[in-house]
Amino acid sequence: MLADATPVLVHNCGTTDFYTVQGADDAARLSSGGHPFPTEPHRAHFGPGVYSWGSRAEAEAYAANKPGAQIMRFTVRNEDLAGFSQAHLGSMSDDAVTDFMNRHSLLWDGEPNHGLAYISRPTARGTEHFFSSAVFHLLRFD
Contact assessment for residue 118 and residue 130, using Cβ atoms and an 8 Å cutoff = yes
For residue 10, the model assigns a pLDDT of 46
For residue 4, the model assigns a pLDDT of 46
Q: What is the DSSP letter of 81?
A: H
For residue 6, the model assigns a pLDDT of 46
For residue 39, the model assigns a pLDDT of 74
Q: Are strands 86-88 and 70-77 parallel, antiparallel or unpaired?
A: unpaired
One-letter amino acid at 34 equals G
Contact assessment for residue 115 and residue 5, using Cβ atoms and an 8 Å cutoff = no
* Low-confidence spans in the chain with pLDDT less than 70: 1-12, 41
Please state the pTM of the whole predicted model.
Answer: 0.87
For residue 109, the model assigns a pLDDT of 87
Contact assessment for residue 107 and residue 114, using Cβ atoms and an 8 Å cutoff = no
